[in-house]
Amino acid sequence: MQAARDLLTPGLLPEPREPAPARRHRRLVVGATLAAGTVALAVTLAVPRGSLTFGLLGFLLAAIWIAGSAAAGPLQLGRSADRTEGRRMSLAAIVLGGLAFVAFLGASLVAHHVPSLDGAVDSVLATADAGPTVLVLAVAVVNAVAEERFFRGALPVALAGDHRAVVATAVYVLVTVATLNVALVVAAAAMGTVFMLERLATRGILAPTLTHVTWSTLMLLAIPR
């Protein structure tokens, strides 16, 4: 439990030292990726759930985030540590994903009694149940990895100032508005904050990626219908 708390103890995101041309390139790529990814997200959620097109667009969306983060520049997985410390951090990140699921499970039970949230939660569950479980899970896991590479990897590094982490999290929430689903926006605000805290604590994307994949998998497979 202490290890999980350590993942939520942020440090200051160090300012990258890059030549001006590399900095401009990074920002240009990140900006273009952000625009393309937001449009792709809106289009993906507009097609029939469970269709082949929905699955293909889901993978295309992940490809946009991954390609953009790769083109922007190198990413860090985390602080250099010995093997034991690395295993401890990875296990803590997975545990944190499980704890986040438990919190959202309780929140979903409350949301069913709030008219404005009840329909939004049902819509998310309907999307998860619309197609083959393997396909839906694959899309969710691939996008979890892709989002961490971009929103906790490339995006905050491309920004400037001491509040880069806050701005990057706000952008993540604003992009989720394209889904037109209040439950997903609330989830993005809550989990986006958790993922960014892990990014700041470890200075890398491995821990938030493990938490994101664990949380997404449990939300799809274990939340009561």
Angle of helix 83-111 relative to helix 206-221, nearest 10 degrees, comes to 40
- Compute the half-sphere exposure of residue 54: CA atoms within 13 Å on the CB side of its CA: 18
DSSP state of 225: -
Angle of helix 52-72 relative to helix 20-46, nearest 10 degrees, comes to 170
pLDDT at 221 exceeding the cut of 80: yes
How deeply is 64 buried, as exposed, middle or buried, from its count of CB atoms within 10 A (0-12, 13-18, 19+)? Answer: buried
* DSSP secondary structure letters along 93-138: HHHHHHHHHHHHHHHHHHHTTSHHHHHHHHHHHHHHHHS-HHHHHH
* 83-89: average pLDDT: 84
Domain ranges of the chain: 15-221
Torsion of CA 60, 64, 70, 73, to 10 degrees: 180
Most distant CA atoms of the chain, gap in Å = 54
pLDDT of residue 78: 76
pLDDT at 121 exceeding the cut of 80: no
* 75-95: average pLDDT: 82
Do residues 169 and 192 make contact, with C-beta atoms less than 8 angstroms apart? yes
Residue 119: pLDDT band (50, 70, 90) is: low
pLDDT of residue 102: 95
The helix/strand/coil state of 207 is helix
pLDDT of residue 33: 98
pLDDT of residue 24: 93
pTM of the model: 0.91
24 vs 110, more confident: 24
CB neighbourhood size of 29 (10 A): 19
pLDDT of residue 122: 64
* 168-187: average pLDDT: 93
Spacing of C-alpha 6 from chain mean position? 20
214 vs 224, more confident: 214
Nearest to 104 by CA among 209, 194, 11, 198: 194
Output the six-digit token pair for 118.
């009840």
